[in-house]
Amino acid sequence: MGLDRIINVEDMHQLAKKRLPKIAFDFIEGGVEDEHGLDRNESAYRRHNLVPRYMVDVSEINQKTTLFGREYDSPFGISPTGAAALFRPGADLMLAAAARDANIPFIMSGASTASIEELAEVAPDHGWYQMYTAKDKSISEDMIRRADAAGLSTLVVTVDVPVRPRRERNLRNGFTRPLKLTLATRLDALCHPGWLIRYLKNGTPLISNWKQYAPKGASADDIATFVTQQTAATLTWSDIEKFRKLWPRKFVLKGIMHPQDALRAAELGVDGIMISNHGARQLDRAPAPLDVLPAIQAEVGDRMTLMMDGGIRRGADIVTAFALGVEFIFMGRPTLYGAAAAGQAGASHVIGILRNEIETNMRQMGCTSLEQLPEFLMWDDPDDLRRNKN
């Protein structure tokens, strides 16, 4: 299937599923335990309606967005997604290049298979770095210094991985450290020769940013095991305070879900938070980020930048989030589907789809700029039309 036949994110989702073996696709697709959180993330957007206004000149629509003093061409960016090279070698930098070309931000995962330094070469003005903290805090501090030396604008510290979750699809497929591949998994890989040839040529993806901290001579699997052992339940607010002091530019916490945690972050001088439940991959009973947004906004909305990820599949989802008050959206799976299915061109195609859907929805609504979007949110009480009286 050519990209000209991919008309929405779901089409790209299906193409990625077709081109990847189950062990790789399930790593992208899966959640944790019963996976109820996956549906919760997506369905949260569908509970909100947008009321259009007509007889409005919509010949010009502006979806440009300023985030941390930089103007981007669209109100969304690419979330960190680990092990991307498992789906297509070089996928991390393909995603970075797609973001650069579209003038949107890209967040490199702490489990990336490319390095901080490579990101700075490919997308120096659009690349952010997301860090998983280590038990050995000197490793984290050195990563911060490396991101600083590379000139990256924003450091994102992920706070929602205190324990390794039970991602049951991975366990069934033998996607563990070390790998314990079942016969069915091996046979399935043979049915995807394009992926298998690339995998055999390139081998197990290397988590590049951690290589220099692992024991000398460690293999890619050894380094992955080392990362798993290092990223455990040791992150505290005192660490965040120290990292804030070390990092000289914009500092973001990813994974905040409670208003009091958001308030604590604001008090420590954090510039922004990404409301996120890790794509429903950590705690299956966690609420959707969209559902906790109002409470967090009420607590700290005037003190820091509020971003969000989780469940984005349509431009209308992004429009809805902005109507509810978010200031920027990030997404992981949609562009990862694109990179897995068709490399950089696939990721760029997904960005273009969402950008066009945002514009189409805004035109249909009679909304010419993102700032107006809260005016179009369906009112709770039919008698209360004060927000739409004009």
Active site residues: 278
- Which residue stretches of 207-332 are H helix? 220-230, 237-246, 259-267, 289-300, 315-323
> CA nearest 324: which of 374, 386, 274?
374
Contact in structure between 185 and 174 (CB atoms under 8 Å): yes
What letter would DSSP give residue 275?
E
Q: 373, exposed or middle or buried, with CB in 10 Å at 0-12, 13-18, 19+? A: buried
Residue written as tokens 């197990």? 204
Handedness of CA 123, 129, 130, 136 (dihedral sign): positive
389 phi and psi, to 5 degrees? -70, -20
Query: From CA 38, how far away is CA 313, in angstroms rounded?
Result: 12
Phi-psi region of 352 (alpha: psi -120 to 50; beta: other; left: phi over 0): alpha
Q: Which two tokens stand for residue 232?
A: 């455990």
Contact in structure between 292 and 271 (CB atoms under 8 Å): no
Rg from Cα positions in the chain: 21
For residues 338, 152, 299 and 43, what is the CA-based torsion angle, rounded to 10 degrees? 0
Q: 172, exposed or middle or buried, with CB in 10 Å at 0-12, 13-18, 19+? A: middle
Q: Which two tokens stand for residue 354?
A: 């969402």
3-state secondary structure of 66: strand
Contact in structure between 335 and 355 (CB atoms under 8 Å): no
Query: From CA 23, how far away is CA 311, in angstroms rounded?
Result: 22
Contact in structure between 63 and 73 (CB atoms under 8 Å): yes
> CA nearest 104: which of 352, 383, 322?
352
Q: Which two tokens stand for residue 59?
A: 């010949």
